[in-house]
Amino acid sequence: MDVNQPKQEHLLALKVMRLTKPTLFTNVLVTCEERDLPGSLFNQLMKDDPSTVKGAETLMLGEMLTLPQNFGNIFLGETFSSYISVHNDSNQVVKDILVKADLQTSSQRLNLSASSAAVAELKPDCCIDDVIHHEVKEIGTHILVCAVSYTTQTGEKMYFRKFFKFQVLKPLDVKTKFYNAETDEVFLEAQIQNITTSPMFMEKVSLEPSMMYNVAELNTVDTAGKSESTFGSRTYLQPMDTRQYLYCLKPKQEFAEKAGIIKGVTVIGKLDIVWKTNLGERGRLQTSQLQRMAPGYGDVRLSLETIPDTVNLEEPFDITCKITNCSSERTMDLVLEMCNTNSIHWCGVSGRQLGKLHPSSSLHLALTLLSSVQGLQSVSGLRLTDTFLKRTYEYDDIAQVCVVSSEFKQS
Q: Are 380 and 398 in contact (CB under 8 A)?
A: yes
The pLDDT tens digits for 376-393 are: 999 999 999 988 888 888
DSSP string, 109-129: EEE--S--SPEEEE-TT-EEE
Same domain flag for 196 and 289: yes
Q: Please report the pLDDT score of residue 408 as a whole number.
A: 58
Q: What is the mean pLDDT of residues 2-14?
A: 69
Q: Please report the pLDDT score of residue 300 as a whole number.
A: 83
Euclidean distance between CA atoms 174 and 77, whole angstroms: 14
The pLDDT tens digits for 171-185 are: 999 999 988 776 678
Q: What is the mean pLDDT of residues 354-378?
A: 89
Q: Please report the pLDDT score of residue 257 as a whole number.
A: 61
| 134 contact partners, CB below 8 Å, separation of at least 6 | 79, 80, 81, 103, 110, 112
Q: Does pLDDT of 167 surpass 60?
A: yes
Q: What is the mean pLDDT of residues 295-315?
A: 83
Structural domain contains residue 151: yes
C-alpha to C-alpha distances, 289 to 152, 234, 243, 339, nearest whole angstrom = 54, 29, 21, 43
Structural domain contains residue 286: yes
Structural domain contains residue 66: no
Going by C-alpha positions, the residue among 194, 206, 299, 198 that lies closest to residue 245 is 206
Same domain flag for 287 and 182: yes
Which of 150, 169, 188 is the last residue before a domain boundary? 169
Q: Please report the pLDDT score of residue 388 as a whole number.
A: 85
Give the number of other Cβ atoms within 10 Å of residue 134's Cβ.
17
The pLDDT tens digits for 265-287 are: 678 899 999 999 888 888 999 99
Q: Are 12 and 96 in contact (CB under 8 A)?
A: no
Q: Please report the pLDDT score of residue 2 as a whole number.
A: 47
Same domain flag for 182 and 286: yes
Same domain flag for 85 and 180: no
Structural domain contains residue 22: no
The pLDDT tens digits for 245-267 are: 999 988 887 776 665 555 566 78
Same domain flag for 281 and 177: yes
Same domain flag for 289 and 184: yes
Q: What is the mean pLDDT of residues 44-52?
A: 72
Long-range contacts of 328-332 (CB under 8 A, 24+ apart): 328/260, 328/359, 328/360, 329/359, 330/299, 330/359, 330/388, 331/356, 331/357, 331/358, 331/359, 331/388, 332/299, 332/300, 332/356, 332/357, 332/386, 332/388
Q: Please report the pLDDT score of residue 191 as a whole number.
A: 94
Q: Please report the pLDDT score of residue 258 as a whole number.
A: 60
Same domain flag for 306 and 339: yes
Which of 294, 318, 338 is the last residue before a domain boundary? 294
Give the residue numbers spanning the domain of 378.
300-404
| 171 contact partners, CB below 8 Å, separation of at least 6 | 75, 76, 77, 78, 194, 195, 196, 200, 275, 283, 285
Domain holding 141: CATH number? Answer: 2.60.40.10
Q: Please report the pLDDT score of residue 410 as a whole number.
A: 47
Number of domains, the chain: 3
Same domain flag for 186 and 276: yes
Same domain flag for 156 and 247: no
Q: Does pLDDT of 292 surpass 90?
A: no
Q: Does pLDDT of 322 surpass 50?
A: yes
Q: Please report the pLDDT score of residue 320 as a whole number.
A: 92
Lowest mean pLDDT among 49-58, 295-304, 342-351: 49-58
Q: Are 359 and 330 in contact (CB under 8 A)?
A: yes
Going by C-alpha positions, the residue among 125, 118, 114 that lies closest to residue 95 is 118
Structural domain contains residue 390: yes
Q: What is the mean pLDDT of residues 31-44?
A: 71
Euclidean distance between CA atoms 249 and 25, whole angstroms: 46
Which of 294, 324, 352 is the last residue before a domain boundary? 294
Q: Does pLDDT of 7 surpass 60?
A: no
Euclidean distance between CA atoms 129 and 152, whole angstroms: 20
Query: pLDDT averaged over the chain?
Result: 84
Give residue 15's identity as a one-letter amino acid code.
K
Residue 371, judged by CB atoms within 10 A of its CB (0-12, 13-18, 19+), counts as buried
Going by C-alpha positions, the residue among 182, 221, 190 that lies closest to residue 207 is 190
| 376 contact partners, CB below 8 Å, separation of at least 6 | 400, 401, 402, 403
Q: Please report the pLDDT score of residue 260 as a whole number.
A: 53
Same domain flag for 307 and 365: yes
| 389 contact partners, CB below 8 Å, separation of at least 6 | none
Euclidean distance between CA atoms 362 and 325, whole angstroms: 6
Helices (H) and strands (E) in the chain, counts: 3, 33
Domain holding 255: CATH number? Answer: 2.60.40.1230
Same domain flag for 230 and 343: no
Is the model more confident about 360 or about 2?
Answer: 360
Q: Does pLDDT of 66 surpass 90?
A: no
Q: Please report the pLDDT score of residue 279 as a whole number.
A: 80
Residue 146, judged by CB atoms within 10 A of its CB (0-12, 13-18, 19+), counts as buried
Q: What is the mean pLDDT of residues 219-223?
A: 82
Task: Give this prediction's pTM.
Answer: 0.66
Q: Please report the pLDDT score of residue 1 as a whole number.
A: 45
Q: What is the mean pLDDT of residues 39-55?
A: 72
Structural domain contains residue 13: no
**Neighbour-count burial for 45-58, b at 16+ CB within 10 Å, e otherwise:** ebeeeeebeeeebe
Q: Are 339 and 326 in contact (CB under 8 A)?
A: no
Structural domain contains residue 38: no
Same domain flag for 106 and 154: yes
The pLDDT tens digits for 137-149 are: 999 999 999 999 9
The pLDDT tens digits for 183-211 are: 678 899 999 999 998 889 999 999 999 88
Structural domain contains residue 65: no
Is the model more confident about 205 or about 50?
Answer: 205
